[in-house]
Amino acid sequence: MNPAIQMEPNMSDPSSAPSGRTRMLSIRNLSKTFKLHMLGGVELPAVSGVSFDVLQGEFVGLAGPSGAGKSTVLKCIHRTYLASSGEILYASSRQGKLDLARLPEPDVLELRRTEIGFVSQFLRVIPRVGAQDLVAEPIRIRLGLDAPAAAARAAELLDRLRIPRRLFFAYPATFSGGEQQRVNIARAVAWEPRLLLLDEPTASLDAASVETVVELFAELRRGGATLVGIFHDPELLERIADRTVRIGDPG
């Protein structure tokens, strides 16, 4: 082969985006179908043929009507759902390009521990652990801070999210929906993940809390993080995302 001939940039290579920025995620022809064995094996297609890229440092919003499969796409990236077909190429910091749809489970766990975070719509956490400890845990374990430093950092985040100090030691199961969700977000941003997946994180928050959360996301991005999210409020999406990918549209 003549080395002088320049190859066309390969669209499926997440490491070389046209703009020169790294392609953090490159989703190619992702499809997910649920097969319900209890209902005679009926198949429910959730998404089909989804393809899009996310550049490093970008904030990409997923849009589309309810039931279009936005959440399914996010959960496939996080591997909570198994993709039926297609590729989810992720440019990991240590191992280069990896296909999250097929990566061995221990490697997925390692990425979740060190790089990829997920914020669900509701707080789903360990019972009988106080709010401050919940937020401090990932700081301690993932960032390696000692217990007092992690507790201080957790307190700072919870203060900013206006969780009253008297609730720091209480179990979030007893909190209001909005308080629970603020703890959820504090826990997710506390360890500064490299890629953060957001599944309607602000749905149960009041306006003031939404502003704080928007600030926290902006701080993560200044640290170099990439975010992909679903927001029920189109104006909010417009304001915080660099661009929007529509899910569920033909092509």
Partner 1 sequence: MDALLRVHGITRRYGSGCPQCLDNTGAAAGTNRCDACGSVWACRDVSLELRAEEALGIVGESGSGKSTLVKLLHFDDAATSGYVELARMPALEGVDDLYAEGCDWSRDVLSMDRYRQRKARDASMGIVYQHPHLGLRMGVSAGGNVAERLLSAGWRSIAAMRARASELLERTEIPLSRMDEPPRNFSGGMQQRVQIAKALSGDPAILLLDEVTTGLDLSVQARVLDMIRTLREELRLSMLVVSHDLGVINLLCQRTMVMKNGQVVESGLTDQILQDPQHGYTQLLVASQLQ
Q: Which is nearer to partner 1, 126 or 218 (CB)?
A: 126
Q: Would you give the binding string for partner 1 spanning residues 39-68, x where CB under 8 A is met?
A: ------------------------------
126 binds partner 1 (CB under 8 A): yes
Closer to partner 1 by CB, 80 or 244: give it. 80
Binder among 13, 99, 110, 115 for partner 1 (CB under 8 A)? 110
- Tokens at residue 205, please? 């928050």
The one segment of 20-28, 76-84, 197-205, 233-241 that binds partner 1 by CB under 8 A? 76-84
Q: How far is the CB of 105 from partner 1 (least distance, A)?
A: 5
User: Contact at 8 Å (CB) between 91 and 12?
Assistant: no
Stretch that binds partner 1, among 21-29, 103-111, 210-218, 226-234 (CB under 8 A): 103-111
For the bound state, the minimum distance from the C-beta of residue 198 to partner 1, rounded and expressed in Å, comes to 17
Q: Does 1 bind partner 1 (CB under 8 A)?
A: no
Among 1, 9, 128, 222, indicate the residue that binds partner 1 (CB under 8 A). 128
Binding of residue 81 to partner 1 (CB under 8 A): yes
Please identify, using beta-carbon distances, which residue of 41 and 250 lies nearer to partner 1.
41
One residue of 15, 21, 34, 156 binding partner 1 per CB under 8 A: 34
Contact 218, 224 (CB under 8 A): no
- Distance in Å, CB of 21 to partner 1, minimum: 30
One residue of 82, 147, 152, 218 binding partner 1 per CB under 8 A:
82
Q: Which stretch binds partner 1 (CB under 8 A): 9-17, 31-39, 146-154, 213-221?
A: 31-39
In the β-sheet with 116-119, what is the strand arrangement from edge to edge?
Answer: 116-119, 195-199, 226-230, 59-63, 243-246
SS (H, E, C) the chain: CCCCCCCCCCCCCCCCCCCCCCEEEEEEEEEEEEEEHHHCCEEEEEEEEEEEEEECCCEEEEECCCCCCHHHHHHHHHCCCCCCEEEEEEEECCCEEEECCCCCHHHHHHHHHHCEEEECCCCCCCCCCCHHHHHHHHHHHHHCCCHHHHHHHHHHHHHHCCCCHHHCCCCHHHCCHHHHHHHHHHHHHHCCCCEEEEECCCCCCCHHHHHHHHHHHHHHHHCCCEEEEECCCHHHHHHHCCEEEECCCCC
Number of residues that bind partner 1 (CB under 8 A): 18
What are the distances in angstroms from CA 162 to CA 41, 135, 136, 152?
A: 48, 14, 16, 15
Interaction between residue 168 and partner 1 (CB under 8 A)? no
Q: Rule CB under 8 A: is residue 173 a binding residue for partner 1?
A: no
The binding site for partner 1 (CB under 8 A) comprises 34-38, 75, 79-82, 105-106, 108-110, 126-128
